[in-house]
Structure 1
Amino acid sequence: MNGSRVSDLELGVIGNCTFAALIDRDASIVWCCLPRYDGDPVFHSLLGAPKEMEDGGFFAVELEDQVHSEQKYCGNTAILETVLHGKQGSVRVTDFAPRFFWRDRLYHPQMIVRRLTPVSGTPRIRIRVRPRFDYGSTMPSLTFGSHHIRFVGPHTILRLTTNAPIDYVRDETVFNLSRPVDFVLGPDETLSEGIAQTARSFEERTRDYWRHWVHRLAIPFEWQSAVIRAAITLKLCTYETTGAIVAALTTSIPEAPGTQRNWDYRYCWVRDAYFVVRALNRLAAMHKMEDYFDWLMNVVASASGAHIQPVYGVGLEAELTERIVTSLPGYRGIGPVRVGNQAYQHFQHDSYGNVILGVAQAFLDKRLLSPPTRMDFLRLEDIGRQALSCYDKPDAGMWELRSRARVHTTSSLMCWAAADRLARIADHIGEPERARDWRVEADKIRQVILERAWSEKRGAFVESLDGEYLDAGVLLMAEVGFLAPDDPRMVSTLRQVEAVLGRGPHMMRYEAADDFGEPKTAFTTCSFWRIDALARMGRREEARDYFEALLAQRNRLGLMSEDIDVETGEAWGNYPQTYSMVGIINCAMRLSRSWEKAI
C-alpha cells in the first residue's frame, strides 16, 4: 500500500473558487481547509499529524502492491486524474470540486467528488478517510447509514456518500475494485439523485465549465499549456464569494528548512492581488477584475481615509492575529505552524499604490457591466492623500521586515504610482484640475526617488532612500512606468542586481540580511521580474532562455510554489504561489511570438 506522507510539493490542486484541496501523486488528499481557504484544515497531513493521536488528516486511496503512479489534469480543466499502477491491476482516480451553472446560477458547493475506475486487472484497494478538526487536535465522532458516513466535529459535520461497500470504507478493508465506485464528500445533506448519476453529471458539467472558461482566454501563441494552467490555478485562488484573492492555499510551508520563515498565506494581500488581476486582465479574464474591484472598494470604504493594511482576510477581516499551532509538527516536521499573519499590523506604504493600481483599469475599460462611479474615484483620492503623507516615511517594506523600518524604495515607488494613476483616471473621467494636481504630486515624489534612491557608488537604484543595498524589487520601476526600460539608470540597475542577486536563472530577493539572516532560497517572483526587465530592454534571447529554465522548475503538473533551492531545484514556500503563477503568464505574454508571425 502507498503511504500518505508527503515529502515534496508534487501536489495537484482542485477547487471551485470557494475552497480548494491539494492531492499528492498517490491520490491522497493531504490538505483541505473548510469552510474556506483560511479555515480549519480537515485534511492536514501536508503538515503532519499530532504525535499523541492516531495517524490522520488525509483521504487516501491505497493500491495494494503499488509500483508507480501517473498524474495529470484533464485538458483545460481543474479536474485531476491519478492512475495508480500495481502488480495486480491499475485504478484511475478522478478528483474535482463541482463548479458549473445550474438553474441560472453558479453552483459551487463545498464538495469533493472522487471517482474510482479500474483500468486493468483486478486492483485491490483500501479507502482511508480520516478527517480531523481543530488543526488535527480533535477526532470526529462517526455515524453511519447504508451509503454514507458522517464525520461529526465540534463545529463541522462532513458527510461521505458512496456506492462502494460502506463496511469496507468504514473498516478500511482491502477489497477488489471490480467496478467503478464514487465518493461525494461535502455538507451533511442527502444527495437529490443517485451517487453514480450525481458524480457523472457533476464531472461532465464541471469539465464543460472549465473548458468554456479557458476558451475565452486571450492566450499567447507560445507556451499555451503553461499559461492555461497558470490561469486556472490563479482562478482557483480566488474567493468568489467576496472577490478576494489569496496569496497561496497553504500555511507554514517554510521558505527554506530551519529558517523559521513559516508564514500563513491564506489571506488577501493587496500587493499580490494586484498582480493577479493584472495578469488575468492580460488574458481577457475580465470578470475577476470586477469581483476584485468590489472587494477592494469595500476595503477603501472601510478605511475611511485612514491606514490601509497590506493584508486582509478573504471576508474583509482586518484582524489576523498570528498564533502558533502546536498540534501539527509542520511540513517534513519543520515547524512552527502558524495561523494568522502579523503583517496585518504592519505599515507597508506600497499598499496605497497597489490598491489604486488594482482598480485603475476599471475606470478606463468600457467592457465592464458595472463601471466605477465618480464617488469611487473620490474615495480613491483619500487613499492617494495617504500615499502623499507617507511616501518618504519608514515602513516594513514589501518584504514585510518585522524588526527594521526604512524608507523603502519600492514603497515610495508605489506611492508615486498612486498619484500617477489618479492623475490619469482624473483626466479620463473629465476632471482636468484634479488631474493637474495629482500630476504635480506625482512629479514631486518622482524627483525624490530619483535623487535619493539612486546610488552612484552601486551604480543602481537601491532598496531604500539614501541606502546602500540592492533589492530585486526596484526592477518594478519599469513595470509601473516610472522609468523607460532603456533609461541608462535602469540598464545599470539590472546589471548590478543580476551580478549580486542572480543565481543562474534565479534571483534572490535582496542583499542585506533581514530578521532571520540572509535568504537561502531564490524568490521565484523576482526571477520573473528579471526576465520581464530583460525583455523590455531588448535582451529577448537571454530572457527566453531564463524563462525556459524557470518553466523547467515547475512540478509535473505545471505549478510552482514561492521559493526554489538554487542548488537542488527543490520547491519551498507556500503553494501554489499566485505571485509565481503570475510570472508565467506575464513573461509568456511578453516573450511569445505573435499569432500573426507564427501562422
Structure 2
Amino acid sequence: MSEPLEIADHGLIGDLRTCALVGVDGTIDWFCPSRFDAPSVFGAILDEERGGSWKLAPAGGVTRTHQFYYPDTAVLITRFLTADGVAEVHDFMPVPDAADTSHRQRLVRQVRGVRGTVRMRMRLDARPDYARQTCRAERRSEGVLLTGDGARMGLAASADLDVTDGTVGADVELSTGDTAVFILEMLGPDDDVTSAAVGTTDDLLKVTTAFWRRWLAQSTYAGRWREAVHRSAITLKLLTHEPSGAIVAAPTTSLPAPIGGSRNWDYRYVWIRDAGFSTYALLRLGFISEAREFIRWLSERLGQRDCASDGRLGPLRVLYDIDGNLPDEVELPHLRGYRDSAPVRVGNAAAGQLQLDIYGEIIDSVYLFNKHGPGISHDAWQDITAVVNWVAENWDSPDAGMWEVRDDDRPYTTSRLMCWVAIERTIRIARARGLPGDIVSWSKARDDIYDRIMTKSWNADINAFTRVEGGSDLDAGVLLMPMLKFLSPADPRFLSTLDAVERHLVTDSLVFRYEPGTDNLDGDEGTFSICSFWYVEALTRAGRLEDARLALEKMFTYANHVGLYAEQVSATGEQVGNFPQAFTHLALISAATNLDRALAGTDGGTP
C-alpha cells in the first residue's frame, strides 16, 4: 500500500455547510456529507485501505502535478502533466448565492484536456458512517444511486459508469479542449439520481466563482499581504455553517500532532474560543454579516445557559456541535489513523472541561461587534451580564487552561488574563451604551484579577510572566497581554517576558505554545502556528517592526502550496494536526493587518 499524502498536500473546497479535502493526486479523501460534523463517506486520510475515497487522475504515469485556486475563489484546480499531455480537474461545491434556502449539495469534478491526449481514470468508493458501512451501488437511468447507513447519493456523469462490488469507475480519454464531468449529489429519502446538472456545469462554475468574488469584494483589506490575508478569509468563510452562523475550528478529525502519537482530536465543532477570535478577524476585514450571524448563534447558547449542578463548569461550555449540543467522545478502532496514528476519535471530551479563558474571548467578540456592528440587543445584554457575574465570582478556580490539558486543572495565567478581559469589556460596553449593570463589583473583580496576575504570575527570578501562578515555565499565550490591553507593549515586564519567550519557546519564527515535555502527553509536539502569528503581533506592538516583518514572511513559507495551514509545524517543517485550522488563519489576518498599520505609521492597536 502506498504512503498516504502529507496532510499539507491537500486543497479545501466547500459549500458553507461542509468541506472536502482534495489531494494533489486528485483524490477526495475526506468528506462528511450534509454538514461538518456528520459521519464521513470518504475517510481515506484516516485509513487509506478502509476509509473510502473518490479518485480521479491520469491512468498512466504522472510527471508532475500542480494545484491552485481560481483567483479569489474556493474553486480548486489540480493540473496533471504526463508524457502524453496535460489535463486539469476543476473541483468545487456549488454556492450560487448567499442564504440559499433551496441548496442542493453537490461535489462537482470537471476534467479538461489542456494539451495532447490523456486517459483519465475515476474510481468512487464511498464508505458511510466513518467506514463502518459499505455502499450499495445501483444503476439508474441517469446515473448510479449510492445508498448506505445514513447516506443517499447520486452520481451522474458525462461518461459511461461501471459498477463493481459497490464501487463506481469510469475511463475517459481527453484531447485538447475535451471535457468530462462527474457530479456527486446528496439526495433526500425520496430523491432519485438526476443528470440535469451535468449539462449545466459551466453555469454552476460561473455562479460559484461569482459568489466567492462578490463575497471577497466586501473586504476592506488592501495591504501588503493581500493574497495571504484573503486566502485566510476564504478559509474562515469555508469553515462557516451558513444556515446556523456557527464557525467550526477545522473540517477534520484525528489528524495527529505529532504523527505516530495519540494527540488526535476531533475539531469539527464550534470552539467558543476559536469562533470568538474568528469573529474579530472577520470584523477587521469588514465582514459584518458573518460576525452578526455568529453573534446570533452565540446568543442562542447564552440563552440556554447550562450550569452544572455545582456550578463548576459555568454558564458556557468549551465547545458545541453546530446545533448547540455537547458531543460525546468515542474511538473508532476499525480505522488505523493517519499513518497509524491511533486512536481515531469522533466527538470531543473537552466539552466537559472548565476553561475560563473562553469567557474573555467570547465577550471580547461581543464588545467588538457592539462597537463596529449594529449593537447587541437587550436580551443579549441580559445574558452577558449573567455570564460576567458568574465570571466575577469564579475567576480564581483552577481550570484546564487555554490549551485544554486533560486531568490537570491548574491556575493558568491565560485563564486569569481572559477573565480580566471578560469583565473589562463588559464594563466598557455598559459605559459606552449606558446599560445597567453592577459596575462597582465588576470593577473590583477586574482589579483583583489584575493584582493577582501581577503578583502571582510574575516570576522575578526569570523576569517573566509564567504559565501558571507560582510557576517557572512559560506560555506563549502571555504574548496576548498588549493585544488585549492588559499591559502596554512598552511595559518593562512585557518586554522582558517577550525576551524570555524568545529564548525558550521560539525557534526561528516558529513558537511552541509552552515548553515541550510539560503536558504529560506522548510524542514531541510541534510548534503552534497561532503562537507564531501572536509572536509577530507582539514584535509589532513592541516596535520591532523589521523583526516582525521578517517573522511574518518566514511564517508565510510554512503555508502549503495553496496558502493553507494546519494546527502545528513539526520539527522537520511538516504541517501536522487538523487541517486547515481556523485558529491559525484568523491569527494570520490579525498579525498582517496590525503590522500593515504599524508599517504605515498609524496605531497598530486592537480596535
Seq. identity, %: 34
**Equivalent residue, structure 2, for 1:282:** 284
Choose from 549, 557, 562 the match for 1:557. Answer: 562
Choose from 307, 330, 342 the match for 1:323. Answer: 330
CA distance in 2, matches of 1:570, 1:476: 26
CA distance in 2, matches of 1:62, 1:525: 38
Deviations 1:559-588 (A, max 9, x none): 00001013x211111100111111221111
Decide whether the 8 Å contact of 1:90 with 1:118 is kept in 2.
yes
Structure 1: gaps of 5 or more residues: none
Cα offset, 1:194, TM superposition: 3.5
Decide whether the 8 Å contact of 1:122 with 1:176 is kept in 2.
yes
Choose from 299, 307, 324 the match for 2:315. Answer: 307
Give, as a single letter, the amino acid of the residue that structure 2 aligns with 1:527. S
Q: 1:593 to 1:39 in 2, by over 3 A?
A: same
Choose from 544, 548, 551 the match for 1:543. Answer: 548
Q: 1:193 to 1:565 in 2, by over 3 A?
A: closer
**Equivalent residue, structure 1, for 2:126:** 131
CA distance in 2, matches of 1:202, 1:146: 23
CA distance in 2, matches of 1:168, 1:323: 34
**Equivalent residue, structure 2, for 1:158:** 153
Q: Tell whether 2:493 aligns with 1:498.
A: no
Q: 1:146 to 1:117 in 2, by over 3 A?
A: farther
Give, as a single letter, the amino acid of the residue that structure 2 aligns with 1:149. V
The 3-state SS of whatever aligns with 1:576 is: coil
In the TM superposition, 1:184-223 aligns within 5 A as 184-188=183-187, 189=191, 194-223=196-225
Decide whether the 8 Å contact of 2:457 with 2:471 is kept in 1.
yes
Cα offset, 1:464, TM superposition: 1.3
Give, as a single letter, the amino acid of the residue that structure 1 aligns with 2:183. V
**Equivalent residue, structure 1, for 2:446:** 442
Q: Tell whether 2:582 aligns with 1:578.
A: yes
CA distance in 2, matches of 1:177, 1:168: 22
Q: TM-score, normalised by structure 1?
A: 0.93
Q: Tell whether 2:127 aligns with 1:119.
A: no
Decide whether the 8 Å contact of 2:137 with 2:163 is kept in 1.
no
Bigger shift: residues 513-522 or 557-566: 513-522
**Equivalent residue, structure 2, for 1:468:** 472
Deviations 1:19-76 (A, max 9, x none): 10000012211111122111111111111145xx6x8333433442222111110000
Decide whether the 8 Å contact of 1:57 with 1:136 is kept in 2.
no
Give, as a single letter, the amino acid of the residue that structure 2 aligns with 1:21. A
In the TM superposition, 1:22-421 aligns within 5 A as 22-49=21-48, 56-101=52-97, 105=100, 108-167=103-162, 172-178=169-175, 179-188=178-187, 189=191, 194-303=196-305, 306-318=314-326, 320-365=327-372, 367-368=373-374, 371-421=375-425
Cα offset, 1:101, TM superposition: 2.3
Decide whether the 8 Å contact of 1:21 with 1:29 is kept in 2.
yes
The 3-state SS of whatever aligns with 1:211 is: helix
CA distance in 2, matches of 1:237, 1:574: 13
CA distance in 1, matches of 2:126, 2:3: 13
Cα offset, 1:109, TM superposition: 3.0
Bigger shift: residues 424-433 or 483-492: 424-433
Decide whether the 8 Å contact of 2:261 with 2:341 is kept in 1.
no
CA distance in 1, matches of 2:52, 2:500: 50
CA distance in 1, matches of 2:195, 2:407: 57
Q: 1:456 to 1:405 in 2, by over 3 A?
A: same
Q: TM-score, normalised by structure 2?
A: 0.92
Q: 1:375 to 1:194 in 2, by over 3 A?
A: closer
**Equivalent residue, structure 2, for 1:513:** 518
CA distance in 1, matches of 2:523, 2:476: 14
Give, as a single letter, the amino acid of the residue that structure 1 aligns with 2:211. Y
Structure 2: gaps of 5 or more residues: 308-313, 603-607
Cα offset, 1:309, TM superposition: 1.0
Q: Tell whether 2:424 aligns with 1:425.
A: no
CA distance in 1, matches of 2:583, 2:42: 25
Q: 1:164 to 1:518 in 2, by over 3 A?
A: closer
Q: 1:432 to 1:138 in 2, by over 3 A?
A: closer
Give, as a single letter, the amino acid of the residue that structure 1 aligns with 2:434. G
Cα offset, 1:394, TM superposition: 0.5
Q: 1:4 to 1:194 in 2, by over 3 A?
A: farther
Q: 1:551 to 1:596 in 2, by over 3 A?
A: closer
Bigger shift: residues 186-195 or 455-464: 186-195
Q: 1:215 to 1:357 in 2, by over 3 A?
A: same
Cα offset, 1:437, TM superposition: 4.2
Decide whether the 8 Å contact of 1:350 with 1:398 is kept in 2.
yes
Cα offset, 1:167, TM superposition: 3.7
CA distance in 2, matches of 1:105, 1:242: 13
Cα offset, 1:389, TM superposition: 2.0
Give, as a single letter, the amino acid of the residue that structure 2 aligns with 1:532. E
Decide whether the 8 Å contact of 1:275 with 1:582 is kept in 2.
yes
Decide whether the 8 Å contact of 1:6 with 1:45 is kept in 2.
no
Cα offset, 1:436, TM superposition: 4.5
The 3-state SS of whatever aligns with 1:201 is: helix
CA distance in 1, matches of 2:598, 2:214: 23
Please tell me the root mean square deviation across aligned C-alpha atoms, in Å.
2.3
CA distance in 1, matches of 2:601, 2:389: 46
